[in-house]
A = this chain, B = another copy of it.
Amino acid sequence: MLYSIIETLKRNQLSITDSRKKILELFLKSKGALAHADIEHQSGTEFDRVTIYRTLQTFVEKGIIHTIPTADNSVRYALCKDACSEGHHHDDHVHFMCDDCGTTYCLDNITIPAVNLPNGFTALQTDVVVSGKCAKCN
């Protein structure tokens, strides 16, 4: 896994630093999405809060992770699929947030149904956030 972490960073022309390795590792280990606070807690006092903010920002810019719009307007991040690249995210999949355990899933296999817009409106991106109970909590 360490190999793929370093590979990912190199592929995105990012220098290999402790914080980037650690944060990327957290994403690879986590099944669901992570909030800034999750990362701050899971990495202990190892890194400065500001470093985490900047690392997340960098990862989003590079297309390594993407933000997830949530019903409660908390900011969460999840790993992008390979299709994402710098400045252009392809996160056209459904996000599911469990009301019980709070886990956020990226349902990669479910494509977003087309939405008919009124005349004059053009869509660039469509986000679908479903909330309810996940398989574990049901």
Residues of A in contact with B (beta carbons under 8 Å apart):
67, 69-71, 73-75, 94, 96, 99, 107, 109-110, 113-136, 138
Contacts and interface: CB of A to CB of B under 8 A. Distances in A.
Contacts of A69: 69-71, 73, 127, 129
Given A69-B73, A73-B74, A113-B113, A126 B118 contact: no
Given A69-B71, A127-B129, A115 B94 contact: yes
Contacts of A118: 107, 109-110, 135
A128 B131 CA distance: 12
Copies of this chain present in the complex amount to 2
5 contacts: A110-B117, A117-B130, A120-B134, A121-B130, A121-B134
A114 B74 CA distance: 24
A122 B74 CA distance: 22
Contacts of A120: 134-136, 138
Contact of A71 (B71, B96, B125, B138): B125
A126 B128 contact: yes
Contacts of A75: 73
A121 B86 CA distance: 32
Contacts of A126: 128-131
